[in-house]
Amino acid sequence: MARLDCPAHAGASIIGLTHDDVARMRAQLFVEGPDQLRRLSKFWLLLVLAGVIASAGIVSDSTATVIGAMIVAPLMTPILGVVLAVVLTDGRNLARCIVLVVAGSAVVVGIAWVLGHFVPYPVVAQTNSQVAARVTPRLVDLVAALATGAVGAVAVARSDISDTLPGVAIAISLVPPLSVVGLTLESGAPHQALGALLLFLSNVAAILATGIVVMAIYRLSEHAIPPEGQARVGLRRVSIGVITILLIGVIVPLKIDTDRVDATTVRQNDVQAVAQRWATASGWTVVAVSVDRSIYYIDTVGPEPEPNLATLRSDLAATNLASSDIRVSFQPRPYVPVSP
Residue 340 has pLDDT above 70, yes or no: no
Does 166 sit behind a cis peptide bond, omega within 30 degrees of 0 on the bond before it?
no
Q: Please report the sign of the dihedral spanned by the C-alpha atoms of residue 191, residue 196, residue 198, residue 201.
A: negative
More confident residue, 312 or 58: 58
* pTM exceeding 0.75: yes
Residue 7 has pLDDT above 50, yes or no: no
Domains and CATH numbers, the chain: 7-225 (no CATH), 264-332 (3.30.300.20)
Confidence of residue 12 (pLDDT cuts 50, 70, 90): very low
More confident residue, 138 or 168: 138
Determine contact, residues 200/105, Cβ cutoff 8 Å.
Answer: yes
- The most distant pair of C-alpha atoms in the chain lies apart, rounded to whole Å, by 94
Residue 234 has pLDDT above 90, yes or no: no
Q: What is the pLDDT of residues 43-73, one digit of tens each?
A: 999 999 999 999 999 999 999 999 999 988 8
Q: Please report the sign of the dihedral spanned by the C-alpha atoms of residue 194, residue 192, residue 99, residue 204.
A: positive
Determine contact, residues 208/147, Cβ cutoff 8 Å.
Answer: no
Q: What is the pLDDT of residues 100-123, one digit of tens each?
A: 999 999 999 999 999 999 999 999
Q: What is the pLDDT of residues 74-100, one digit of tens each?
A: 999 999 999 999 988 888 999 999 999
Residue 331 dihedral angles phi and psi, to the nearest 5°: -120, 95
Residue 187 has pLDDT above 90, yes or no: yes
Residue 171 dihedral angles phi and psi, to the nearest 5°: -70, -35
Residue 188 has pLDDT above 90, yes or no: yes
